[in-house]
């Protein structure tokens, strides 16, 4: 089954288009998990390194967050920078978090925004979605279902990700128009032909996804389109009729679910609404137990998105 | 001392502008290191995982390559994708390789091409050049001297890297015009004002580096400018008079050291010539012991670059 059809089936089964962002700042973990420096095999001795203890706390936080808010979601999206900051221990924690999310039926989107020339892009693709051949046997990658990719270096830097994803039954989400203010600096530049840089990238995405369109009309090459500038969404949808849109910027960055309707034109799985801090930190705004508050906020987003995506 | 002055002093001390690229494909390691699956503490038992054994072999390969070719170089440049593909074991090997390079007096450039919004860019910067605060104490990052950064998302996605680098006495190399054919797809697009996308990125780089210019006239914000299109170099130098240029594409990708003169206009440290496969695989072309062939090729590049950069 083509990746997009697998995603579509899961969206309908879970009645959710919500992606739970995992962005664990070690200094802002949930209180009950911040000092739960245990590993799957038991409590850690007190003399292990800060990196090992912090990674265990991050693992506990992400697991608790997934258990609380996951039932309202279709996927989780770990921000790789947070795990990388804890070195080898962080990467091991990431592997555990991916396994935990898969274990409760969620897809995993590795948010690493990787991009590099041919052989290096291939190595990243192996790291995240594929396997690496070594003289000692095959080394499994992270085994995620989708990854974010940076298209600055052009088609030949994206293709290795697409081919590995396609061979692995996974998908790729290319940065097209991001949700940060700096997107104006490069992505929004006007080209000689009148269109914007991001619109040209959207055309690349559409072309790369052509051979990965499933029976439901969605492709395994999707796009990151910020929810903070809703007027871009209908234009993006016109340029990429088959792309799954990952929609960041809802909540903490000011985007509103109500503005996202064009994303869902090709169907309910056409848009994935991702939120991190607004879910994990809901208890800081509204009070209550962190898990209860996170579940309530994720459920609120789920109902909103499901309602406006009625086709 | 501003980073650029530290680099300049080292370039003159070592009489080298050569950067040794470390791009260890586990299936193409040097024969003598490919099965040397040992770790610093001794030989590995035979029953450990393929990832651990492959990471040990990669560590042995990179260490041997540094020992052989390092004396002709000023820095090493590990390609992070190769280490990431081996998971937590790979990241641990990367830490050891960085320490080994530092131990023999070389700078380290982490080639990860990271780029993300504010807090995530900050986390990557901590991972590579800074430290992370955790409830269990400070976690050291990789401690490298320079990193490569992807500017697609704009200034606010680059600034956290620059500020962490500046605070750590390190530097940043922003992708401006890369050496792959796909660079034509986005970087070379013509803008409404007549310039190319990469030229606008070059202007961003110049502005971001303004406050990091040292006594020697070079800045801590540099640029990656591919050596495969030499006609871009004089234009890039005009737009970024203070930037250190990292020049990939020599050797395996077809670029020639002889064409790089404009990079050295601000001085000998103005251009860093990076080569990976052409050094590590020199023995496959010319025969001989891998280390001897690597050292000879690195020395050949060193002499060429030093000669054309006479100011």
Residue B234 has pLDDT above 80, yes or no: yes
CB contact under 8 Å between A181 and B156, yes or no, is yes
Candidates B84, B143, B203, partner chain A, best to mutate (most A CBs within 10 A): B84
Contacts of A160 in chain B (CB under 8 A): none
Q: Hey, is the C-beta of B115 within 8 angstroms of any chain A C-beta?
A: yes
Q: Mean pLDDT across the stretch B129-154?
A: 97
State how far the Cα of A154 lies from the Cα of B196, in Å rounded to an integer: 14
- Per-residue pLDDT reduced to its tens digit, A259-286: 888 999 999 999 999 999 999 999 999 8
Residue A41 confidence (pLDDT): 54
Candidates B85, B95, B137, partner chain A, best to mutate (most A CBs within 10 A): B85
Residue A45 has pLDDT above 60, yes or no: yes
State how far the Cα of A244 lies from the Cα of A272, in Å rounded to an integer: 7
State how far the Cα of B100 lies from the Cα of B288, in Å rounded to an integer: 25
Contacts of A147 in chain B (CB under 8 A): none
Q: pLDDT-derived band of residue A237, with 50, 70 and 90 as boundaries? A: very high
Select from A140, A149, A302 the least CA-distant residue to B49: A140
- How many helices (DSSP H) and strands (DSSP E) are in chain A? 12, 12
Tokens at B57, concatenated: 């072999």
Strands A137-140 and A131-134: antiparallel
Select from B131, B130, B53, B68 the least CA-distant residue to B101: B68
Helix (H, G, I), strand (E, B) or coil at B112: strand
Residue A36 confidence (pLDDT): 65
| Residues belonging to chain A | 311
Residue of A nearest to B22 (CA): A120
Helix (H, G, I), strand (E, B) or coil at A38: strand
- CB count within 10 Å of CB B254 equals 10
Select from A155, A276, A272, A171 the least CA-distant residue to A225: A272
Residue A42 confidence (pLDDT): 60
Q: pLDDT-derived band of residue A29, with 50, 70 and 90 as boundaries? A: very high
What number is the ipTM of this complex? 0.95
- Which sign, positive or negative, has the C-alpha torsion B193, B194, B200, B206? negative
Residue B228 confidence (pLDDT): 80
Q: pLDDT-derived band of residue A56, with 50, 70 and 90 as boundaries? A: very high
Tokens at A129, concatenated: 């979605």
Strands B146-149 and B107-114: parallel
What's chain A's average pLDDT? Answer: 94
Q: Mean pLDDT across the stretch A212-219?
A: 96
Residue A52 has pLDDT above 60, yes or no: yes
State how far the Cα of A189 lies from the Cα of A161, in Å rounded to an integer: 26
| Residues belonging to chain B | 311
- Per-residue pLDDT reduced to its tens digit, A105-161: 999 999 999 999 989 999 999 999 999 999 999 999 999 999 999 999 999 999 999
What letter does residue A195 receive in the DSSP assignment? S
State how far the Cα of B174 lies from the Cα of B242, in Å rounded to an integer: 13
Residue of A nearest to B91 (CA): A88
Q: Hey, is the C-beta of B184 within 8 angstroms of any chain A C-beta?
A: yes
Chain centroid to Cα B113, Å, comes to: 10
DSSP string, A169-183: T-EEEEEEE-SSGGG
Option in B27, B136, B153 nearest A54 (CB): B136
- CB count within 10 Å of CB B251 equals 22
Contacts of B134 in chain A (CB under 8 A): 26-27, 50-51, 53-54, 57, 86
Tokens at B178, concatenated: 């890369």
State how far the Cα of A123 lies from the Cα of A135, in Å rounded to an integer: 16
- Per-residue pLDDT reduced to its tens digit, B267-290: 999 999 999 999 999 999 989 999
Q: Mean pLDDT across the stretch A2-6?
A: 95
- H or E element that contains A231: helix A231-239
Residue B199 has pLDDT above 70, yes or no: yes
CB contact under 8 Å between A186 and B23, yes or no, is no
> How many CA atoms, within 13 angstroms, populate the side-chain half-sphere of residue B274?
27
Contacts of A118 in chain B (CB under 8 A): 180
Residue that wins the pLDDT comparison between A39 and A164: A164
Which residues of A are known catalytic residues?
A: 113
Which residues are registered as beta bridge partners of B196?
B190
CB contact under 8 Å between A54 and B150, yes or no, is no
Option in A90, A155, A184 nearest B182 (CB): A155
CB contact under 8 Å between A26 and B126, yes or no, is no
Q: Hey, is the C-beta of B252 within 8 angstroms of any chain A C-beta?
A: no
Residue B135 has pLDDT above 60, yes or no: yes
Å between A284 CA and nearest CA of chain B: 19
Residue B40 confidence (pLDDT): 52
For residues B54 and A134, the answer to whether their CB atoms sit within 8 Å is yes
What letter does residue B248 receive in the DSSP assignment? -
State how far the Cα of B29 lies from the Cα of B262, in Å rounded to an integer: 35
For residues B309 and B17, the answer to whether their CB atoms sit within 8 Å is yes
- Per-residue pLDDT reduced to its tens digit, A156-200: 999 999 999 999 999 999 999 998 999 999 999 999 999 999 999
Tokens at B229, concatenated: 């299109």
Residue B172 has pLDDT above 90, yes or no: yes
Residue A39 confidence (pLDDT): 52
Question: If contacts are CB pairs under 8 Å, which of residues 65-94 in chain A contact chain B?
Answer: 79, 81-82, 84-92
Residue B272 confidence (pLDDT): 97
- Per-residue pLDDT reduced to its tens digit, B15-48: 999 999 999 999 999 998 877 655 555 666 667 8
Measured in degrees and rounded to the nearest 5, phi and psi for residue B122 equal: -65, -40
């Amino acid at each position: 089954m083509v990746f997009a059809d697998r995603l579509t089936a899961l969206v309908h089964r879970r009645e959710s288009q919500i992606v739970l962002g995992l962005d664990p700042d070690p200094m802002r973990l949930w209180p009950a998990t911040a000092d739960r420096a245990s590993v799957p095999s038991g409590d850690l001795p007190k003399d292990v390194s800060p990196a090992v203890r912090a990674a265990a706390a991050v693992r506990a936080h992400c697991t608790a967050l997934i258990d609380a808010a996951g039932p309202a979601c279709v996927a989780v999206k770990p921000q790789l920078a947070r795990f990388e900051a804890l070195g080898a221990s962080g990467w091991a924690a990431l592997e555990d978090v991916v396994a935990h999310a898969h274990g409760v039926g969620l897809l995993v989107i590795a948010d690493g925004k990787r991009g590099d020339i041919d052989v290096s892009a291939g190595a990243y693709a192996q790291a995240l979605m594929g396997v690496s051949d070594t003289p000692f046997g095959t080394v499994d990658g992270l085994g995620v279902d989708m990854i974010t990719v940076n298209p600055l270096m052009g088609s030949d830097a994206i293709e290795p990700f697409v081919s590995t994803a396609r061979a692995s039954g996974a998908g790729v989400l290319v940065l097209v128009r991001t949700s940060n203010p700096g997107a104006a600096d490069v992505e929004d530049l006007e080209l000689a032909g009148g269109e914007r840089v991001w619109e040209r990238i959207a055309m690349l995405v559409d072309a790369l996804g052509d051979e990965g369109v499933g029976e439901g009309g969605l492709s395994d090459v999707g796009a990151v389109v910020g929810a903070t500038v809703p007027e871009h969404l209908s234009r993006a949808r016109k340029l990429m009729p088959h792309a799954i849109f990952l929609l960041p910027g809802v909540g903490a960055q000011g985007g509103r679910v109500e503005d996202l309707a064009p994303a869902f034109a090709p169907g309910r799985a056409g848009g994935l609404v991702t939120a991190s801090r607004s879910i994990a930190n809901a208890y800081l705004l509204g009070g209550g137990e962190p898990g209860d508050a996170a579940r309530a906020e994720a459920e609120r987003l789920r109902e909103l998105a499901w309602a406006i995506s009625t086709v």
